[in-house]
């Protein structure tokens, strides 16, 4: 190749090159994570542009325990009344025959991470996220954009999750409405919604959920009061 041809090739600016190097370094950081480290809350930093605010470890643990308790009461793979539900769940989430409960975490990565930290082999969990950094979780990561509520992979069968935990990324009626479509598509019945207190009426209308006494906390102080909502008899409603 001649010098003139070299000069015709596009050249990255120093700023663009630095950004590219930072991106590759970040990707290597996540790739190098192994064992339980990759499930630590905060291992993937919050991106405020994506309206990401992580729960405290205590809140994430409480919600994870609630999800396990709720899903364990009649998990789809142990107690499914219809063979097609069991088959769909197995096809969607693996073939581990000991699994009896399936949990969906929609825009709630802190809860997913805490569930995985608990080492429960009798649970299968999917994390539905827009942020591709969470692809480090392999097949359990499902790309999700709330603007396309049911644009999901074919392997995700309708009504194949025993409980759906959802934390809509934006505090708006539009975001809640679209996320609600996803929730209703995924769940076999139980819903655990985390969103602002100002969304109480809209959440009840869309999903038939009621506000719980338990108050979730985040690692950073939010400007709006945040609450949990459920559509079943929950331990979150029996504590302050």
pLDDT at 3 over 70: no
- pLDDT of residue 179 exceeding 90: yes
CA 103 to CA 207: how far, in whole Å? 18
Least confident range of 83-97, 168-182, 185-199: 83-97
What is the b/e burial string over 159-184, where b = at least 16 CB atoms within 10 angstroms of the residue's CB?
ebbbbbbbbbbbbeeebbebbbebbb
Q: How far apart are CA 131 and CA 146, in angstroms?
A: 12
| pLDDT score at 44 | 63
Lowest-pLDDT choice from 93-97, 161-165, 189-193: 93-97
- For 40-237, CATH number out of 3.40.50.150, 3.40.980.10, 3.40.50.300, 1.10.10.410 equals 3.40.50.150
> Cα 93 from chain centroid?
15
pTM of the full structure: 0.75
Mean pLDDT along residues 15-20: 57
Average pLDDT taken over every residue of the chain? 79
Q: What confidence category does residue 212 fall into, taking pLDDT thresholds of 50, 70 and 90?
A: very high
| Token code pair at residue 84 | 């097609």
Q: How far apart are CA 24 and CA 37, in angstroms?
A: 20
Mean pLDDT of 52-66: 88
List, as one string, the DSSP characters of 155-212.
Answer: TS-TT-EEEEEE--SS-SHHHHHHHHHHHHHHEEEEEEEEEEGGGHHHHHHHH--EE-
**No. of H helices and E strands in the chain?**
8, 7
- For 7-24, what is the mean pLDDT? 56
The predicted-structure confidence for 72-120, as pLDDT tens digits, reads as follows 865 555 444 434 444 444 444 444 445 578 999 999 999 999 999 887 7
Q: Indicate the pLDDT class of residue 55, thresholds 50, 70 and 90.
A: confident
Per-range mean pLDDT, top range of 49-53, 110-114, 234-238 = 110-114
pLDDT over 70 at 207, yes or no: yes
**Which tokens sit at 149?**
């509520």
Mean pLDDT of 135-139: 90
């Amino acid at each position: 190749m001649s010098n003139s041809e070299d000069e015709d090739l596009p050249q990255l600016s120093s700023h663009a090159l630095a950004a590219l190097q930072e991106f590759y370094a970040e990707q290597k950081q996540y790739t190098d994570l192994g064992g339980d480290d990759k499930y630590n809350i905060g291992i993937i930093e919050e991106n405020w542009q994506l309206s990401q605010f992580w729960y405290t470890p205590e809140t994430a643990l409480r919600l994870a325990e609630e999800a396990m308790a709720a899903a364990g009461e009649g998990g789809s793979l142990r107690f499914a009344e219809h063979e097609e539900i069991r088959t769909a769940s197995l096809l969607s989430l693996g073939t581990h025959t000991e699994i009896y409960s399936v949990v969906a975490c929609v825009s709630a990565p802190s809860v997913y991470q805490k569930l995985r930290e608990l080492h429960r082999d009798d649970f299968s969990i999917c994390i539905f996220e827009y942020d591709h950094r969470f692809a480090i979780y392999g097949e359990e990561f499902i790309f999700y954009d709330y603007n396309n509520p049911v644009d999901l992979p074919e392997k995700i069968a309708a009504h194949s999750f025993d409980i759906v935990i959802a934390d809509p990324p934006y505090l708006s009626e539009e975001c809640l409405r679209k996320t609600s479509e996803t929730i209703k598509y995924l769940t076999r019945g139980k819903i655990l919604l985390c969103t602002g207190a100002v969304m109480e009426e809209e959440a009840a209308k869309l999903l038939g959920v009621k506000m719980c006494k338990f108050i979730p906390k985040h690692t950073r102080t939010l400007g709006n009061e945040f609450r949990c909502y459920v559509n079943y008899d929950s331990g979150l409603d029996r504590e302050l």
